[in-house]
Each structure stands twice: as structure tokens, then as C-alpha cells.
């Protein structure tokens, strides 16, 4: 979601004549798009601002903007920081170019964040903004000089779930779904410009609902409509919440070949006690039943998840239950996070952060080991298979398998199940579908060769 926001704001700035530079010393303005999900992410922003304050001593004209969730959460504090000129929340991103222009002209401090982000008036403002900012999604990656291999389209903003540990509902506001026509129009436009893969985004994308007249459109309807666009080859959606996951979504995944057989469906924990304290609204057994049903409906379904270790009160037994769930589900990959108390959330206010840092670290490392071991085993079944991949571009870690020469660099692509595949081929294949044969496998990567 943040990646999309950054690219939308960049595109909106480009329309005003700004160009990207990767050196702060060359910049007229520096924007920091922020995340508040864990304290560590916020700490990094604060240390970054420290550097920028220093830089401003030699570049007094530099304008610094802090945008996104942290701006929403701690606006005044950020505005008071010596380095900061502009503060804009996730609901004000469409105003950022104008705020930057003004700050460049008069060097006054400005803050635009929504008050009472969960009030109905804010929902209306957010709906309006969605349409103004979201339309900026571009097919062309001007930084890399080629058509992007995929485009993100926001299907909905915000979240109403209030998991007890999570800051998202407070900083991104209530769920607001975009009209299906707006999404489909955008997908058509992007497809017309060369995009072949669309990823629909939402914090809980399966909660997508849009009522027009007497009809309510769901995620299944949306997937069907986007799949109906000729030039679109693959459609995906992230992230799914395991509570209230409608079977119609699985059916559409099974019936429509363009809908990718991939679910990012975080369980967070395998312990019912912890799931209850997290306010997740399902049990471990309920989650596993859903996964079994999904696997039975959608052939070759790949699964990804998120887990939090060290939630308040998590015992060794709770941790073991999480490890057991992971062993049963056998994910393609997972993200594991150490619990981080977020100010204002239920867990931060009511539950002591009582799992010691070393225990969190140990559980984190052990879970990653289990996840990697499973993926390593399961990925071996791909050995020798020919797969279709969408080429994303040159690999950023070419040491994995050295490029033979400049015309044949190491490329990265993804299968429709979201497996990462690395192989050598001409850079001109970026954005195209190619066939590759798998020659070697690892836990996170398949290595392959191009098939003529």
C-alpha cells in the first residue's frame, strides 16, 4: 500500500515538472513516506530526519515533507522537528505537490492531516481523494525506462477490523471501497498502455463491498470484471483476512484462469488464546479448515502468511501452536514480526508487553527456520518443470548466478503463484511472459533457464 502511495505521489509530482533523484544533496525536496505498523519503522524515519536537519545547514532551501501514517499519528510532533516543512497524512496525499510548491516558495511549515479520521465526514473526504490520487497510477516506470511488469490498483482504503495490536485502523481510517467502474476503467487504461498484470490492493481485500442501486459488488465480482479485460493476463489481490472469507472468491480463482492461484492470508498466530486476545475473529482450526477448502477448490494454490511472535502473554505452548499451524499449512513464504506495542491500540493500553526481547528474537528466528525448511522441501517439486513467468527486470542480486554477458543479464520474474524465478536473458524481456525450465531450487527462489 505504501509502495503504491509513493508511486502515486511521485507521478503527481512528475506532472508538475519534478524529476526523481536518488541523492538528497541534489534535491529541492525530500519526501519521506512513512509506516507506523512497528516502532522500528518509525525510529528509522526519526533518525533520517536527524540527517536531514544536518543537511539543511548547508542546503537551507531544501524542503522536507513527512507523509503517510506517521504524519497522521504524530503530526504536531513531526511539524515541530527542525528539519520538517510539510506534514501530510494518508488522506491528504493528493495535496502533497501543492504543499511542496508552497513550501519551496515561502519556507513556512504546513500540516494537512484529517481530524477524526474514523468519522463519516472523513470517509467521504477519503472517497474523494481516492479518485483524485489513485488515477495517477502509470504504466511506465520513468525511473527504469520501461513499462512496469505490473500495476497496483487500490480497491479499498482503510480497515474496520481493529486487531488489538494494530495501528492501521487509526491512521488509515475506515474501510472505503472504490466503485468497480473506476477500478475497471483504470485497469483498461493501464492494459491499453501495456500492463499485463494487475494487483488489487486492500488491507482486507476480501471485505471489498460496493453498493450501487440495488446491487452490491464483492471481490469476486471485481475479479471477474478485471479478468474480462482482454489485454489483462493475470489478476491478483492482497491482502486477505481469514475471517469472513467468502467461498465465492475461491470459486472465481478456480474458474477464471487469469486470477492467480495465490493467497496472502495472514494467520498471525496458531494459538486460540492469542488469536482471541488479538481480536482476529477465528480459531486455528477455523483457519486450517478455510485453507483446506481453498486448496481443494483452487488447484496448485500457493499460500503466504504473516505471524507475530511475542504478543503479550505468549507462552512456549502458544508459540508451539503457531509452529504446528505453520507445519500443517506449509506456506510458500511468510513474514514474521516481533510484537511492537503501538500507542493507542487496545493491546498497548491493556496488555503488558511481557515477552522478553530475547525470547521474541528466538521465536522469530525459529519460525523463520521452520518456514524456510518447508519451502526448501516443497520447492524441490519444481525441479525440471517448465513454468511461465512474467519478467520483472534485471535482478538486483546478480551474484546469485553471474550474468554471462551484458546481453544476457540475470533477470527476475514471477510465476502466477508468485514464486520468484531467476534466469539469464535479454533485458528486453522485461514486462513479457516467457517460459523457463527450473534447474535448481532454494527456499525463496527458483533458478531456471529460458526455454526457446
Contact residues for ligand SAH, defined by CB under 6 A: 37-38, 165-166, 168, 203-204, 239, 241, 266, 268, 306, 308, 337, 339-340, 342
Least distance from C-beta 342 to ligand SAH, angstroms?
5
Least distance from C-beta 359 to ligand SAH, angstroms?
15
Least distance from C-beta 200 to ligand SAH, angstroms?
14
Q: Which is nearer to ligand SF4, 7 or 239 (CB)?
A: 239
Q: Which stretch binds ligand SF4 (CB under 6 A): 16-24, 84-92, 157-165, 352-360?
A: 157-165
What's the rounded Cα separation, in Å, for the pair 98 and 12?
A: 10
What's the rounded Cα separation, in Å, for the pair 60 and 29?
A: 11
Report residue 316 as a C-alpha cell: 512456549
Q: Which is nearer to ligand SF4, 54 or 349 (CB)?
A: 349
Q: Which is nearer to ligand SF4, 244 or 439 (CB)?
A: 244
168 makes contact with ligand SF4 (CB under 6 A): yes
Angle at 413 between CA 411 and CA 417, to 5 degrees: 160
171 makes contact with ligand SF4 (CB under 6 A): no
2 makes contact with ligand SF4 (CB under 6 A): no
Least distance from C-beta 166 to ligand SF4, angstroms?
3
Least distance from C-beta 306 to ligand SF4, angstroms?
8
Question: Is the torsion defined by CA of 199, 262, 447, 434 positive or negative?
Answer: negative
Q: Which is nearer to ligand SAH, 165 or 447 (CB)?
A: 165
What's the rounded Cα separation, in Å, for the pair 369 and 375?
A: 10
Number of residues that bind ligand SF4 (CB under 6 A): 10
Q: Specify burial of residue 219 (Cβ count, 10 A radius: 0-12, 13-18, 19+).
A: buried
264 makes contact with ligand SF4 (CB under 6 A): no
Measured in whole angstroms, how far is the alpha carbon of residue 137 from the centre of its chain? 15
Closest by CA position to 158, among listed 170, 144, 172 = 172
Total count of residues recorded for the chain: 452
Least distance from C-beta 37 to ligand SF4, angstroms?
8
Q: Which stretch binds ligand SF4 (CB under 6 A): 7-15, 65-73, 165-173, 393-401?
A: 165-173
Neighbour-count burial for 183-218, b at 16+ CB within 10 Å, e otherwise:
bbebbbebbeeebbbbbbbbbbbbbbebeeeeeebb
Binding site partner of 426, from ligand SF4, ligand SAH, none, Cβ cut-off 5-8 A by kind: none
Q: Which is nearer to ligand SAH, 119 or 160 (CB)?
A: 160
Contact track, ligand SF4, 214-243, x by CB under 6 A: ---------------------------x--
> Dihedral of the CA atoms 395, 396, 398, 404 (nearest 10)?
50
Binding site partner of 169, from ligand SAH, ligand SF4, none, Cβ cut-off 5-8 A by kind: ligand SF4
335 makes contact with ligand SF4 (CB under 6 A): no
What's the rounded Cα separation, in Å, for the pair 243 and 253?
A: 18
310 makes contact with ligand SF4 (CB under 6 A): no
Least distance from C-beta 17 to ligand SAH, angstroms?
35
Binding site partner of 38, from ligand SF4, ligand SAH, none, Cβ cut-off 5-8 A by kind: ligand SAH
DSSP for 198-258, please give it.
EEEE-TTGGG-EEEETTEEEEHHHHHHHHHTSTT--EEEEE---STT--HHHHHHHHH-TT
Task: Provide the phi-psi class of 366: left if phi over 0, else alpha when psi is between -120 and 50, else beta.
Answer: alpha
Q: Which is nearer to ligand SAH, 272 or 306 (CB)?
A: 306
1 makes contact with ligand SF4 (CB under 6 A): no
Measured in degrees and rounded to the nearest 5, phi and psi for residue 430 equal: -50, 130
Q: Which stretch binds ligand SF4 (CB under 6 A): 109-117, 159-167, 378-386, 431-439?
A: 159-167
Q: Which is nearer to ligand SAH, 337 or 382 (CB)?
A: 337
Q: Which stretch binds ligand SF4 (CB under 6 A): 48-56, 112-120, 160-168, 323-331?
A: 160-168
Q: Which is nearer to ligand SF4, 86 or 163 (CB)?
A: 163
CA R_g for the chain: 22
Considering only 203, 227, 240, 271, the residue that binds ligand SF4 (CB under 6 A) is 203
166 makes contact with ligand SF4 (CB under 6 A): yes
Report how far apart, in Å, the C-alpha atoms of 371 and of each of 293, 325, 350, 376, 377 are.
Answer: 22, 11, 31, 9, 10
Q: Specify burial of residue 137 (Cβ count, 10 A radius: 0-12, 13-18, 19+).
A: buried
Residues that bind ligand SF4 (CB under 6 A): 159, 161-163, 166, 168-169, 203-204, 241
Amino acid at each position: 500500500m505504501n509502495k503504491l502511495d509513493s508511486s502515486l505521489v511521485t507521478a503527481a509530482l512528475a506532472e508538475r515538472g519534478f524529476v526523481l533523484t536518488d541523492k538528497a544533496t541534489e534535491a529541492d525536496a525530500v519526501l519521506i513516506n512513512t509506516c507506523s505498523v512497528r516502532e522500528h519503522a518509525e525510529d528509522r524515519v526519526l533518525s533520517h530526519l536527524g540527517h536531514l536537519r544536518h543537511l539543511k545547514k548547508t542546503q537551507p532551501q531544501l524542503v522536507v515533507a513527512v507523509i503517510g501514517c506517521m504524519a497522521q499519528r504524530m503530526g504536531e510532533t513531526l511539524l515541530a522537528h527542525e528539519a520538517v516543512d510539510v506534514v501530510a497524512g494518508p488522506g491528504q496525499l493528493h495535496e502533497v505537490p501543492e504543499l511542496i510548491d508552497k513550501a519551496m516558495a515561502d519556507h513556512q511549515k504546513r500540516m494537512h492531516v484529517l481530524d477524526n479520521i474514523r468519522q463519516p465526514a472523513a470517509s467521504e473526504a477519503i472517497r474523494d481523494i481516492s479518485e483524485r490520487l489513485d488515477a495517477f497510477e502509470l504504466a511506465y516506470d520513468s525511473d527504469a525506462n520501461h513499462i512496469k511488469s505490473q500495476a497496483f490498483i487500490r480497491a479499498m482504503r482503510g480497515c474496520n477490523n481493529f486487531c488489538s495490536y494494530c495501528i492501521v485502523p487509526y491512521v488509515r481510517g475506515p474501510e472505503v471501497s472504490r466503485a468497480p467502474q473506476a477500478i475497471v476503467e483504470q485497469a483498461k487504461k493501464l492494459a491499453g498502455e501495456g500492463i499485463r498484470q494487475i494487483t488489487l490492493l486492500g488491507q482486507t481485500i476480501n471485505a471489498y463491498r460496493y453498493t450501487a442501486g440495488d446491487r452490491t459488488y464483492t471481490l469476486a465480482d471485481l475479479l471477474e470484471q478485471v479478468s474480462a479485460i482482454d489485454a489483462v493476463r493475470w489478476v491478483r489481490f492482497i491482502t486477505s483476512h481469514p475471517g469472513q472469507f467468502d467461498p465465492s472468491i475461491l470459486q472465481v480463482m478456480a474458474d477464471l484462469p487469469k486470477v492467480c492461484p495465490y493467497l496472502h492470508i495472514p494467520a498471525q498466530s496458531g494459538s486460540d488464546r492469542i488469536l482471541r486476545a488479538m481480536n482476529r475473529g477465528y480459531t486455528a482450526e477455523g483457519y486450517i479448515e478455510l485453507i483446506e477448502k481453498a486448496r481443494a477448490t483452487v488447484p496448485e494454490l500457493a499460500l503466504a502468511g504473516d505471524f507475530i511472535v511475542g504478543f503479550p502473554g505468549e507462552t512456549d505452548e502458544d508459540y508451539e501452536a503457531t509452529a504446528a499451524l505453520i507445519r500443517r499449512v506449509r506456506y510458500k513464504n511468510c513474514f514474521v514480526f516481533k510484537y511492537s506495542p503501538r500507542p493507542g491500540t487496545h493491546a498497548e493500553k491493556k496488555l503488558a508487553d511481557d515477552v522478553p526481547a530475547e525470547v521474541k528474537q528466538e521465536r522469530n528466528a525459529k519460525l523463520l527456520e521452520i518456514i524456510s525448511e518447508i519451502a526448501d522441501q516443497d520447492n524441490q517439486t519444481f525441479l525440471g518443470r517448465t513454468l511461465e513467468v512474467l519478467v520483472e527486470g534485471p535482478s538486483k542480486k546478480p551474484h546469485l548466478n553471474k550474468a554471462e554477458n551484458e546481453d544476457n543479464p540475470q533477470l527476475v520474474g514471477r510465476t502466477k503463484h508468485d514464486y520468484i524465478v531467476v534466469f539469464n536473458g535479454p533485458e528486453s524481456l522485461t514486462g513479457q511472459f516467457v517460459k523457463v525450465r527450473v534447474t535448481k531450487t532454494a527456499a525463496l527462489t527458483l533458478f531456471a533457464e529460458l526455454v526457446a
